[in-house]
Structure 1
Amino acid sequence: MIKVTVPATSANLGIGYDTLGMAVSLYAHFTFDHADALAITGCPEEFQNEDNMVYQAFVQALDAWGLEPFPISIHIETDIPVARGLGSSSTCVVAGIMGAAALARRTVTRDELVALAAQMEGHPDNVAPALLGAAVCSFTPTGELPRCLRYEVSDRLRFVTIIPPYEVHTSEARKVVPQEVPLSTTVWQMGRIAGLTRGLETGNTDLIAAANDDRLQEPYRRALIPDYEAIRATCLEGGAKTLWISGSGSTLMAVTDDTIVAKFLQVRLREQFPDCETHILTCDNAGAQIEYL
């Protein structure tokens, strides 16, 4: 029996549309074992079958390695909400691949895991930080495997995470983003990606705030989150330096380097937005972990 623990992820980090992602200290746990027949527990009954995303990733990984699937049991325990912009689907893909490798007694590197997971997900911006930990900038050269640049995030930073009680589907969020932008917008984004990653590494919240001024996707996706403006105002008035949409939303993530500010802000958010779930998170610099039980 093996247990795979995978961190939640925040993609885009405001300025890094489809390129940046960061692992955070909210986790999903998956237990795998050999069995006489497929058995999946810990998730809604409608997902306790062969269509389960974890099992699908398990089967696809075995197929990629030229192996036949075999019956297993999977138990899922997760604190990561579904379809809220925190990489819940990526945790399932990552866990399924790692579970397949472990039960098939196959040794794989993290780079191989990222490549396979990115192929299944269609892009590496969530799966890469889920596997590697920290903040990751990913790109895929034509005809090659994904390249992932990993940035250790300062342990001084606190990410106040606000999760509204409604979903924003990625497919809908992508529809509102323009497919063509002026050259000036492209130039605007490029320098700020470098500024944001350096700010995360050094814990410089002033630099993070200055860099986090996106013109590609957040101006259009805000309208999909009814509470966006009110939550943003509360966070900035409450001492946060900046705020971004996590993934395609609906989760919002505010940044501070002061634990006391983070705690006071969490209290204020819970009072003003009682239907929202809030967490004070740090960056997970370790990435997905596996242990034998």
Structure 2
Amino acid sequence: MDTLKDKVTIFAPASVSNVGPGFDILGFALEGMGDTITLCTREDSAYIIEAIGADLPTDPERNVATVAIRSFCKEIGYKGGFTIRIEKNFTPGSGLGSSASSAVGAVFAANELLQTGYSKEELISYALDGEELASGNRHADNVAPCMLGGFVAVKSCDPFDGFQVAYPEDLKVLIIFPDIVIKTAEARSILPTEVSMSDAIQQAANMAGLINGLTTANYIMVKNSLKDVLAQPYRKKLIQAYDEVERLCEDSESIGFNISGSGPSMFSFFKKEQDLTQLRESIKELYSDRGINCRLHESVINGRGAEIVND
């Protein structure tokens, strides 16, 4: 038997969820943004949390990472404790899957540290236990792409059933994150509880078109299908200058634009070779004129998901 490790460091990427028509269904992972988590075993049964870059709960019952680990350890019968160091390079509440990054990273690290041999797909349900603490419901369109990488479509959460969606290698995304506070509960409360048959049909058609466009590198299809008739018309009202930012992206030959998660972040697809320098400056100026700080992140699609960064 291999000697058990006593420490592991992993990276769990940020992610975009609710991709266009894929409300609670489709998400993708980002490059260069996420959680770096170091997990160490302890001789006692305590869970000690160290947070860097964000004000996170240090109570193991209130932190998504330790809730996820405890769920996993209960399943495998491990009763030891951990010290977990969570280093965030993006802000919770951004609409970029902060809680999913912590929950996924923690469970993935525990699996590696304890050498339990679970597949990434098998780990998703335990990460969802942590995500549920943060969001109040079990939705995997951040957790699944964070864990698996790439684009992931989710059919169900319990048990997890989903699949990775092929995408063009020359696709990139611009993340626009204005310093606006949007509570997920508020973003959900403004949505209608019932939708018309025509809207349901249009949403399903857009989802089919988006999957087809991604898998065949049909950028016209992607752009025409990256439309949400169920949530975006309501949620965009919570994001200042949403329409103006969308127009700026369209003027720069965007391949579709929409809200990331419940906001306030937005995303826009482009081809890798497109120079976005002027667009970035225009968006920053737009928000600066309104007295709002805005962060921008340009990224290719992260096809790896959660991974070890040192051994």
Confirm or deny a common fold (TM above 0.5).
yes
1:276 aligns with 2:287: no
Contact 2:28 2:151 in 1 (8 A): yes
Alpha carbons 2:29, 2:151 under 8 Å: kept: yes
Tell me, in whole angstroms, the C-alpha distance in 2 between the residues paired with 1:46 and 1:93.
Answer: 13
TM-score by length of 2: 0.86
The partner residue of 2:252 within 233, 238, 250 is 238
Q: Distance in 1 between matches of 2:209 and 2:68?
A: 35
Report if the CA contact (8 A) 1:23-1:129 is conserved. yes
Matched, 1:159 2:159: no
Residue type of the alignment partner of 2:103:
V
Letter in 2 for 1:128: A
Separation of aligned partners in 2, 1:156 and 1:276: 26
- Partner residue, 2:243: 229
Q: 2:272, 2:300 within 8 Å by CA — same for their partners in 1? A: no
Offset at residue 237 of structure 1 (A): 2.0
Counterpart amino acid of residue 168 in structure 1: I
Structure 2 distance, partners of 1:206, 1:246, is 21
User: CA–CA distance in 1 between the matches of 2:56 and 2:178?
Assistant: 24
Aligned partner of 1:176 among 174, 180, 190: 190
Deviations 1:92-146 (A, max 9, x none): 11112122223333110122112332344312111111111111111128xx512
Q: SS at the partner of 2:38?
A: strand
CA shift for structure 1 position 238: 2.7
Would you say 1:124 and 2:135 are equivalent positions?
no
Deviation at 1:193, TM superposition (A): 0.7
User: What's the secondary structure of 1:14's corresponding residue?
Assistant: coil
Amino acid at match of 1:178: P
Q: 1:45 to 1:241 in 2, by over 3 A?
A: closer
The structure-2 alpha-carbon separation of the partners of 1:202 and 1:282, relative to structure 1 and needing over 3 Å to count, comes to farther
Distance in 2 (CA, whole Å) between partners of 1:9 and 1:204 is: 23
**Contact residue 135 and residue 153 of structure 1 kept, 8 A:** yes
SS at match of 1:16: coil
- Structure 2 residue identity aligned to 1:132: L
Deviations 1:45-86 (A, max 9, x none): 663342332222212211132332x23222222222211110
SS of equivalent to 2:276: helix
Partner SS, residue 23 of structure 1: strand
Distance 1:156 1:63 in 2: 42
1:112 equivalent among 116, 122, 143: 122
Aligned amino acid, residue 285 of structure 1: G
Question: Aligned in 2, Cα 1:265/1:204: closer, same or farther, shift over 3 Å?
Answer: farther
User: How has the CA–CA distance of structure 1 residues 169 and 203 changed in structure 2, closer, same or farther, with 3 Å as cutoff?
Assistant: farther
Residue 211 of structure 2 corresponds to: 197
Q: Which amino acid aligns with 2:99?
A: S
Separation in structure 2 between the aligned mates of residue 269 and residue 117 of structure 1, nearest angstrom: 35
Q: Which amino acid aligns with 2:172?
A: R
Shift of 1:288: 0.8
Partner of 1:56: 67
1:84 is paired with a residue of what secondary structure? coil
Q: Distance in 2 between matches of 1:177 and 1:55?
A: 31
What does residue 287 of structure 1 align with? 305
- SS class of match (2:279): helix
Q: Mind listing any 5+ residue stretches in structure 1 that lack a counterpart?
A: none
Distance, in Å, in 2 between the alignment partners of 1:45 and 1:28 is: 14
Distance 2:309 2:176 in 1: 31
Determine the C-alpha separation between the residues in 2 that align with 1:15 and 1:39. 37
SS of 2:77 mapped into structure 1: coil
Say what the alpha-carbon RMSD is for the aligned residues.
2.0
**Deviation readout 1:21-66 (Å, 9 max, x if unpaired):** 1111122210111235525242556633423322222122111323
CA contact (8 A) 1:200 1:208 kept: yes
Bigger mean CA deviation after superposition, 259-268 or 102-111: 259-268
User: What's the CA shift for 1:273?
Assistant: 2.6
Q: AA paired with 2:299?
A: L
Q: Is the 8 A contact 1:5 1:30 kept in 2?
A: yes
Q: Contact 2:69–2:126 (CA<8 Å) still a contact in 1?
A: no
Question: Distance in 2 between the 1:198 and 1:235 partners?
Answer: 23
SS in 2 for 1:259: coil
Which residues of structure 2 form unaligned runs of 5+?
1-6, 132-137
The aligned length equals: 290
Q: Are residues 119 and 140 of structure 1, via their aligned partners in 2, closer, same or farther at CA, if it must alter by over 3 Å?
A: farther
Percent pairwise identity: 27
Shift of 1:225: 0.9
